[in-house]
Amino acid sequence: MRMDLIQPFINSADAVLAQALESPVSIEDLSMEQESYRRHGIAAEVALTGEIEGRIIFDVDLELAIQLASRLAGIAVAETDETVVREAVCELANQIIGNAVTTLNDQGFHFHVHPPSLLTSELGGKSSEDTEALVMCLSTSSGKVFMNVALLYHRRRSKERHTVAGISRA
Amino acid sequence: MEKFVAVKRAEDGQPVRYLIVDDSVFARKNLARMIESFGGQIVGEAGDGVSAIKEYERLSPDIVLMDITMPQMEGIEAAEKIVRNHPGARIVMVSSVGYQENIVAALQRGARHFVQKPVKPEVLYEVIKYVMKDESTPARGAGAGV
């Protein structure tokens, strides 16, 4: 998988989570995955379509999800407030993935991001050879966040297409 | 949350009336808290572009805070339809997807401004003041003073 597609997601997750928690976030692990995704806590899934297609799963440990919901809502959120906690995770997924998509679009990758949906099943979709997933684990003082990024790149950016065309003509 | 000098409508000194449009209930509540800290009044909420158009017709708010990525009808299309029927509508796009092409498309279709999520209250406050500048003035010491 191309790291130039992945880096904006890492940067965005780092920035948005650090701002929400007002504490540093560190990347604990990065790994490639072809097996079905196994959910850890409260998870949201966002689909991308266009030159880049695929999906991103944003998965937050329950304890951390409650803390994030409380911080974002400005009030103490209990574990029993499931709707609020789930909404918070979906909104954070939207912010993180939206910010990453912003960076990628400004770099010339054109695609569309869809609204997040809650992932309730224990297992997510299995990656294929074309859409091998990168799983990143981000560590915070209150728990872990997992992002499973499975993307398929359809087209070269216009700049790259022109470069390749120039080489073939030479 | 930090308190801000309340922004009032210039013509009658009443609180600015807002319609908040976002498919996330959580995001709407978050924006509502900020608006209240600006001394504003939330007159309505909508979760998609179609409902936003209906709510605009019904409520005639002073400002619409409009998300972009929503089900049924996205925010840019809804903004365009509202502005087509109400050229004076003040619509501020509030979205995590803030690439240049998207911002330009929103502004070309009638949005007045763009704020990227995660929203910082002080940024939204300045945008609200800017968008309302011809018709409102900060009411120093009124209501939600600093």
Residue from the list A19, A87, A105 with its beta carbon closest to the beta carbon of B118: A19
CB contact under 8 A, A115 and B70: yes
Beta bridge partners of A96: none
Q: Which of residues 122-151 of A touch B (CB under 8 A)?
A: none
| Residue A43 at interface with chain B, using a CB cutoff of 8 Å | no
pLDDT digits (tens, 9 = 90+) for B117-130: 999 999 999 999 99
Is-contact B74 B49, C-beta < 8 A? yes
The predicted pLDDT at position A80 comes to 80
| Residue B101 at interface with chain A, using a CB cutoff of 8 Å | yes
Residue from the list A16, A74, A87 with its beta carbon closest to the beta carbon of B25: A87
Which residues of chain A are within 8 Å of residue B69 when distances are taken between CB atoms? 94, 98, 113-115
Among residues A54, A34, A57, A39, the alpha carbon closest in space to that of A113 is found at A54
Is-contact A112 A103, C-beta < 8 A? no
The predicted pLDDT at position A121 comes to 83
Shortest alpha-carbon distance between residue A167 and chain B (Å) = 29
CB contact under 8 A, A106 and B96: no
**Weakest mean pLDDT among A95-99, A165-169, B9-13, B100-104:** A165-169
Which residues of chain B are within 8 Å of residue A20 when distances are taken between CB atoms? 118
Q: Is residue A62 pLDDT above 70, yes or no?
A: yes
Which residues of chain A are within 8 Å of residue B117 when distances are taken between CB atoms? 94-95, 98-99
Each domain of chain B, given as residue ranges in start order, spans: 9-136
Is-contact A88 A68, C-beta < 8 A? yes
Burial of A16-25, coded b for 16+ CB within 10 Å and e otherwise, reads bbeebbeeeb
pLDDT digits (tens, 9 = 90+) for A126-143: 655 556 788 999 999 889
Among residues B122, B67, B73, B139, the alpha carbon closest in space to that of B96 is found at B67
| Among the four given CATH numbers 3.40.50.970, 3.40.50.1970, 3.40.50.2300, 3.40.50.300, the one describing domain B9-136 | 3.40.50.2300
| 3-state SS class at A55 | strand
Cis before A8? omega within 30: no
Q: Identity (one letter) of the amino acid at B120? A: K
* Residue A88 CB contacts under 8 Å (≥ 6 apart), including other chains: A65, A68, A69, A72, A73, A77, B26
Any idea which residue has 């509502």 for tokens? Answer: B32
Any idea which residue has 């309302």 for tokens? Answer: B132
Q: Please give the ipTM for the structure prediction.
A: 0.79
Pairing of strands B113-116, B91-95: parallel
Residues in chain B: 146
pLDDT digits (tens, 9 = 90+) for A29-54: 888 877 778 899 999 999 999 888 89
Fold that domain A3-169 belongs to in CATH: Chemotaxis protein chec (3.40.1550)
CB contact under 8 A, B26 and A20: no
Q: Is residue B85 pLDDT above 80, yes or no?
A: yes
Is-contact B20 B42, C-beta < 8 A? yes
CB contact under 8 A, B98 and A99: yes
Whether pTM exceeds 0.90: no
